[in-house]
Chains A and B, each alone.
Chain A
Amino acid sequence: DGGITQSPKYLFRKEGQNVTLSCEQNLNHDAMYWYRQDPGQGLRLIYYSQIVNDFQKGDIAEGYSVSREKKESFPLTVTSAQKNPTAFYLCASSKDRGRGTQYFGPGTRLTVL
């Protein structure tokens, strides 16, 4: 089946640790996105990538890093520099270098203990 997968579904982290969230798509989409959602809030863009080996910062990139070595994969690392990382993280993809419809994965809930 075509779609977007994110893993893990739930993630617990101790303060000071880096963690990497996985996002994979088999839709052959050019563009991929990472969003953060806090309780009762909308989605805010962390990073996006229109093509392989290229990515741009969104509104809240501080404390996060990404890579785009393969078209189907866009992992997000939450570093210890992120002051308040507990949130729901959503990955999305779209074709046409980001000018088409966005499709979302099921999300990862990160909790910092």
Chain B
Amino acid sequence: GIQVEQSPPDLILQEGANSTLRCNFSDSVNNLQWFHQNPWGQLINLFYIPSGTKQNGRLSATTVATERYSLLYISSSQTTDSGVYFCAVQPNTGNQFYFGTGTSLTVIP
């Protein structure tokens, strides 16, 4: 199956700082999503972004499909941004989704 790698694995930020999370994937995809998993385990859909750039408030994401990576930007981080961020991809062939191992973000006041 397709390989999905996320970096960094762990990140600690001071409140108000900016950060960039990266997702690399090993094959062509037609579906890419970013999720935030809160401390209670709930996965919240942040972006559906197989290509291009999207913004939602303090969060934005860019996927460069031809170079097989996606970036999630968090600006002016808040303590409520803490949790684990996952990237999930669906290859052009097949309907299965593949998840990365996540980036664990801790925002300290």
List residues of chain A with CB under 8 Å of any chain B CB.
31, 33, 35, 37, 41-45, 48, 50, 56, 58-59, 88, 90, 92, 97-104, 106-107, 109
Contact = CB atoms under 8 A, between A and B. Distances in A.
Contact of A33 (B31, B48, B97, B102): B97
Interface stretch (B55-63, B75-83, B88-96): B88-96
A42 B102 contact: yes
Nearest to B6: A42
B99 A101 contact: no
A92 B90 CA distance: 14
A101 B41 contact: no
Nearest to A98: B95
Interface of B: 1, 4, 30-31, 33, 35, 40-45, 48, 86, 88, 90, 95-102
A48 B42 contact: no
Chief secondary structure at chain B's binding surface = strand
A-B complex: 4 closest residue pairs judged by Cβ atoms: A104-B43, A42-B99, A98-B95, A43-B99
Given A101-B33, A101-B48, A45 B42 contact: no
Nearest to A45: B96
B53 to A, nearest CB: 17
A43 B40 CA distance: 15
A43 B95 contact: no
Contacts of B99: 35, 42-44
Contacts of A35: 99
26 contacts: A31-B95, A35-B99, A37-B41, A42-B4, A42-B86, A42-B99, A42-B101, A43-B86, A43-B88, A43-B99, A48-B95, A48-B96, A56-B95, A59-B1, A90-B41, A99-B30, A100-B31, A101-B45, A102-B33, A102-B45, A103-B45, A104-B35, A104-B42, A106-B41, A106-B42, A109-B41
